[in-house]
């Protein structure tokens, strides 16, 4: 599912369907997006690095969920159960406000003690056997060398988030904010465009080198002068003014790539036209594919630029210069994109739309 619908491509699945609704059958929706540029565009949205997203749905179940049977309600906590029984019997049970330690419940109960987890059993045994070194202590030190003179503050002492009683019992660090922010997943923690460019910059599987080059590119974009936009080469609609770009290099990069990304590619269908000529059929591209094509064009034309600096950052600098020239409308990538679009327009008659029944 596309998170950001690409400008110019109508996506039939741009709105997320709520999970409780049946999957809808939209007869009118097209099987694939049609390349066509509508007039009004969604403005460019700034995405803060720490988005504040209101909680829309929960990932956990509670009593108000659809199921209503007696068996569907989960068993209460052992303390709550004890309190309920005591209430029925008319006695004073354990106080629900304060948690009852399990060790206290099983204090005299040998049979219950056997069913305890091993950690607690060890603890009980250690208590009865007397003072001995705790389990798992080593004869050697595993401490790291403190970098500060006054002791081993590992950055946890002044971190007071966990000092207070957790609001939800059993959750030490509080519940995560839902939905999980975009960069909350380990494998998708970087900006999608930056990640894609980094992977395409990579040669011989050397990701770290590619990451350094990416960093150099972004820093070059930050330090380069403000670009002057060529009105005959308009950027993606809703782009911020050029003076905003150097301070937001990721946006700069995204803007350059999205502006020259082609909407389609030409597929040559062999034998379809007859006489040994391949039939050229325009095929719409997805957002990621469009970006991939644009990045590869940019990288190719960057490699053709004149080398200006020796050392490790030479190629990164040329890529950054190419990105700037794309935004300024000077790059040859624009012609390449226009050629593809022109061919796509010429070949649109070759599209065979499957007949609806």
Partner 1 sequence: MSSSICLRRLPQLSSESSIHSSIGSRNLLSSTQTSSFSTSTARFASPLMKKKTGQVAAPKRGAKTLNVKKGRGGSGRDTGRKPAIGERKALRKRIVLSNTNALEVPTLQDLTKDNVLDKAVEGKVMGIPGEVVDALRAVEAFKTSQGWSLFRRPAALMRKETVQIAELVKQVEAGEAKAKQTIRKVLVGDKMSGKSTLVLQGLMIALLRNWVVINLPDAKDIVLGHTEYAPLPGSTPTQYYQETYTATLLSQIAKANSEILSKIQVTSKPALPIPTPPKLNLLKLAELGAANPEASWPVFVALWKELTLPGRPPIMMAIDNLAHVMRNSEYLSADAKPVHAHDLTIVRHFVDHLSGTKTLPNGGIILAAETKSNSPACPALDYSIQLAEARQLGREVLPEWNPYKVVDMRVMECLRNMEVLRSNGLSKEEARAIMEYYAASGMLRAKVDAPFVSERWTLAGQGNIGELERASVRARI
On whether the CB atoms of residues 313 and 297 are closer than 8 A, the answer is no
**Degrees to nearest 5, angle at CA 274 with 269 and 278:** 30
List the structure tokens of 224.
């380069």
Residue whose CB is less far from partner 1, 63 or 154: 154
Enclosing H/E stretch for 81: helix 78-89
Residue whose CB is less far from partner 1, 93 or 242: 242
Residue whose CB is less far from partner 1, 29 or 296: 296
The structure tokens 């199921």 sit at 67
Q: What are phi and psi of 296, to 5 degrees?
A: -70, -35
On whether the CB atoms of residues 281 and 349 are closer than 8 A, the answer is no
Q: What 8-state DSSP symbol labels residue 275?
A: T
Which sign does the torsion angle of CA 316, 322, 324, 326 carry? negative
Residue 190 beta carbon to partner 1: minimum distance, rounded to whole angstroms: 5
Residue whose CB is less far from partner 1, 69 or 276: 276
Distance CA 288, CA 274 (A): 33
Interacting residues of 73 by C-beta distance below 8 A, sequence separation 6+: 63
Residue 306 beta carbon to partner 1: minimum distance, rounded to whole angstroms: 5
Residue 2 beta carbon to partner 1: minimum distance, rounded to whole angstroms: 23
Residue whose CB is less far from partner 1, 305 or 330: 305
Residue 52 beta carbon to partner 1: minimum distance, rounded to whole angstroms: 10
Residue whose CB is less far from partner 1, 82 or 209: 209
On whether the CB atoms of residues 266 and 283 are closer than 8 A, the answer is yes
Burial label for 285, CB within 10 Å (0-12, 13-18, 19+), is: buried
Binding positions for partner 1, rule: CB under 8 A? 49-50, 147-149, 153-155, 158-159, 161, 190-191, 194, 198, 200-201, 203, 211-212, 214-215, 218-219, 222-226, 246-250, 270, 276, 296, 299-300, 303-311, 313-315, 318
Residue of 98, 112, 105, 60 lying closest to 78 (CA atoms): 105
Residue 276 beta carbon to partner 1: minimum distance, rounded to whole angstroms: 8
Residue 309 beta carbon to partner 1: minimum distance, rounded to whole angstroms: 4
DSSP string for residues in 328-355: TT-STHHHHHHHHHHHHHHGGGG--PPP
Distance CA 8, CA 83 (A): 63
Residue whose CB is less far from partner 1, 24 or 185: 185
Residue whose CB is less far from partner 1, 50 or 67: 50
Residue 149 beta carbon to partner 1: minimum distance, rounded to whole angstroms: 7
Residue 142 beta carbon to partner 1: minimum distance, rounded to whole angstroms: 17
């Amino acid at each position: 599912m596309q998170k950001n619908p690409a400008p110019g491509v109508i996506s039939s699945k741009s709105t997320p369907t709520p999970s409780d609704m049946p999957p809808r059958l939209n007869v009118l929706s097209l099987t694939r997006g049609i390349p066509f540029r509508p007039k009004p565009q969604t403005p460019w949205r700034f995405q803060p690095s720490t988005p504040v997203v209101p909680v829309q749905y929960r990932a956990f179940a509670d009593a108000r969920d659809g199921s209503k049977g007696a068996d569907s309600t989960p068993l209460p906590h052992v303390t709550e159960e004890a309190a309920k029984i005591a209430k029925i019997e008319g006695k004073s049970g354990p106080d629900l406000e304060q948690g009852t330690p399990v060790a206290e419940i099983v204090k005299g109960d040998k049979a219950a003690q056997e069913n305890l987890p091993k950690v607690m059993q060890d603890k009980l045994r250690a208590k009865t056997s007397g003072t001995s070194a705790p389990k798992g202590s080593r004869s050697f030190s595993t401490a790291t060398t403190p970098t500060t003179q006054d002791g081993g503050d590992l950055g946890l002492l002044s971190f007071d988030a966990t000092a207070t009683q957790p609001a939800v019992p059993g959750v030490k660090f509080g519940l995560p904010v839902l939905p999980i922010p975009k960069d909350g997943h380990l494998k998708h923690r970087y900006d999608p465009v930056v990640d894609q460019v980094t992977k395409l910059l990579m040669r011989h599987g050397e990701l770290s080198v590619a990451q350094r080059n990416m960093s150099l590119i972004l820093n070059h974009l930050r330090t380069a002068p403000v670009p002057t936009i060529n009105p005959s080469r308009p950027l993606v609609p809703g782009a911020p003014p050029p003076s905003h770009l150097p301070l937001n290099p990721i946006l700069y990069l995204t803007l350059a790539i999205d502006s020259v990304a082609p909407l389609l590619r030409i597929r040559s269908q062999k034998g379809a036209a007859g006489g040994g000529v391949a039939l050229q059929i325009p095929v719409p591209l997805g957002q990621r594919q469009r970006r991939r094509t644009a990045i590869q064009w940019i990288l190719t034309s960057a490699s053709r630029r004149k080398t200006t600096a020796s050392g490790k950052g030479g190629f990164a600098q040329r890529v950054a210069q190419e990105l700037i020239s794309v935004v300024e409308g000077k790059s040859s990538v624009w012609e390449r994109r226009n050629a593809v679009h022109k061919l796509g327009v010429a070949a649109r008659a070759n599209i065979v739309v499957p007949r609806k029944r």
